[in-house]
Every structure is written in structure tokens, then in C-alpha cells.
Chain A
Amino acid sequence: EVQLVESGGGLVQPGGSLRLSCAASGLTISGYWMHWVRQAPGKGLVWVSRINSDGTTTTYADSVKGRFTISRDNAKNTLYLQMNSLRAEDTAVYYCARVYGDYGWFDPWGQGTLVTVSS
């Protein structure tokens, strides 16, 4: 089955850190841009970050710049998101998604992992 599977979410206190993983099975992430998108409970979709196929180019939303770091390990077919200095407003389901080319649509998406920032 072709899928992306996120993990690493959970409950963390404000100011804390988490590392999300996105493991691909039945498909390769090698050669593709990979992205993170988040969705706060009951809210819409918000793009977070992207990384190019060899990991040399990254882009971030202003809301996470300087706090989040996207990375990848093509040998492990896995994408990561290191989240530091977490805030209550970072509470969301985090999805990883693959994009073909520098600018393209998201497909497929993972099932998502919930991050809750609360004391």
C-alpha cells in the first residue's frame, strides 16, 4: 500500500520540543519535494515548511521560522520536522505530503499526527 505515516506527536508543554517523522512505504520520497501542512482543531489547512529532494533547500512559514527545522533521510525514506520553542498556537494535526516538482500539488498526504501544546 502506498502511504505516508507520521509519528512523534503528543502532549508537550509550552517552550518544549518534539520531533515528527514521516515514513514512506510503497512509494519513494527520493526525487521529490516534501512538505509539512498543519491543521488546528476545527480549523483550515496551513502550510508549514518544505524541503527539496536532496535536502539543500528549505522554506518555512513565517509563523515557524527560527523554531522549526525540516530535514530528510532519503536512505530511510523518511521526512522529519524538529519543532522547538513550541507555543499553544502550534497545536494542530501535522500532515506530511509529497509534491512533484518545485511547485505542485500535495499528493499523497499522510494520516497526520496530533501535537498538543499545553501546560
Chain B
Amino acid sequence: DIVMTQSPDSLAVSLGERATINCKSSQSVLYSPNNKNYLAWYQQKPGQPPKLLIYWASTRESGVPDRFGGSGSGTDFTLTISSLQAEDVAVYYCQQYYSTPYTFGQGTRLEIK
């Protein structure tokens, strides 16, 4: 199984500042034939299901604000929120869909400082 490890577990950032969440996979999720990273990011607010933010490691889902950005390749990935807004308080998960069992990171809780 591919193990996904996020860092940090929790993060407090001031409004308007940058938030950075890291995700590392135990093996590469880059599929060479199409040069795509099989990595997604989700946002989950209390009492709600996860919401897709990013897929293919860096493609923003339609309707997701452009302050959310994904980067990285192979085994190391980053979710960046360029200017934190109050509504961004949530838990963020990375997930690999390179192979089954699909696996998620443990989650990063983002709060306002």
C-alpha cells in the first residue's frame, strides 16, 4: 500500500497570509506513460463531506478559488493557499489514486492565528 504522510498535522496562519501543506507518498505516484501525478487534494469542513480542490496534483477543480494551488511531482507535493480567508478553516487531505487501495494522508487542520 502507498502510505501518504502530511505535514504539519495542524497549522495556524493569519488572515491574508500564505498557508502551505505538504504531502509525501511512500512511492512515486507519477505514471510515466502520461506523465501525470495521480494525486488529489480535498477540503473538509465540520459536518460536511470532503470537497475536491485539486487533481492531477496541480489542476484546480472548476469553481475553486485561484488562491488554492497544488504543486509537486513523484513523491512530494504541496497545497498552497496564497492568502488565507476565514472560510478556508478546514481539514485538508491529500489522496493518491495511482493504485488500490486508494490512500489518504492523515489530514492537516488549518486554523486562523
Contact = CB atoms under 8 A, between A and B. Distances in A.
Interface string A15-59: 000000000000000000001000000001111001000000001
Interface residues on A, range: 20 to 34
B50 A105 contact: no
A99 B102 CA distance: 12
A59 B49 contact: no
Contacts of A105: 40, 52, 55, 95, 97
Contacts of B48: 111
Which label, helix, strand, loop or mixed, suits the secondary structure of the B interface?
loop
A40 to B, nearest CB: 12
B6 to A, nearest CB: 9
Interface centre among A45, A111, A112 (most CB of B within 10 A): A45
Interface centre among B49, B55, B99, B107 (most CB of A within 10 A): B49
B93 A107 contact: no
A11 interface: no
Interface residues of B, number: 24
Interface string B26-57: 00000000000010101010001111100100
A103 B99 CA distance: 7
B98 A103 contact: yes
B101 A109 contact: no
Contacts of A110: 49
A44 B107 contact: yes
5 residue pairs, one from A and one from B, having the closest CB atoms: A109-B49, A105-B40, A47-B102, A107-B52, A105-B55
23 contacts: A35-B102, A44-B93, A44-B106, A45-B42, A45-B50, A45-B93, A45-B107, A46-B104, A47-B102, A47-B103, A59-B100, A95-B50, A103-B38, A103-B97, A103-B98, A104-B55, A105-B97, A106-B52, A107-B52, A109-B50, A109-B51, A110-B49, A111-B48
Given A45-B44, A45-B107, A105-B55, 8 more contacts: A45-B104, A46-B104, A47-B103, A103-B97, A105-B40, A107-B55, A109-B49, A109-B50
Interface of A: 35, 44-47, 50, 59, 61-62, 95, 99, 103-112
